Amino acid sequence: MILYKAITIIGVAIEREDFYKTGKERGCKHPKAASKYCAKCGKPMWEEVEQYMFDDFSPDASETFRGFDVASERESKYIYLGWVQEVTIYMESMSAKVPDIDKLETDLRNALTSINLWPDNFGIYTILKDS
């Protein structure tokens, strides 16, 4: 029997790529040199790598970000922030206290605007997944 789960989010959808920045890291462990490539092994002296902008956050492992719930599927283009409620479809009943939506939107807008992540798409989102 396949078990389905529905995740409901009241909040925002932010493109996953907005959480990344491009950085540089050493291409090898040999001593640094002024050239573009290492004289000993031939690897580039520096390689560009994508890394999360926030050291305390990984969308696939974190349950919260700046005090808001996170919903994220590894293959999804979006990371959802706000109020998240997960429900197993075969549950007999479910009740959840929905937050004050105006306050949630204001709090999300304030938190995300200060770090240039406010996407201006506040709404209700649902993710259906099987397990």
> Residue 2 has what pLDDT?
56
pLDDT tens across 73-85, in order?
877 889 999 999 9
Q: What is the pLDDT of residues 3-59, one digit of tens each?
A: 677 889 999 999 988 888 888 888 888 888 888 899 889 999 888 887 777 877 777
Q: Which residues, 6 or more positions from 24, have their beta carbon under 8 angstroms from its beta carbon?
A: 46, 47, 48, 49
Whole-prediction pTM: 0.67
Which runs of E-coded beta strand occur in the chain?
Answer: 4-15, 20-26, 46-52, 64-65, 68-72, 78-88, 123-130
Structure tokens at 102: 């105006």
**Domain boundaries along the sequence of the chain:** 4-18+56-130
pLDDT at 83: 95
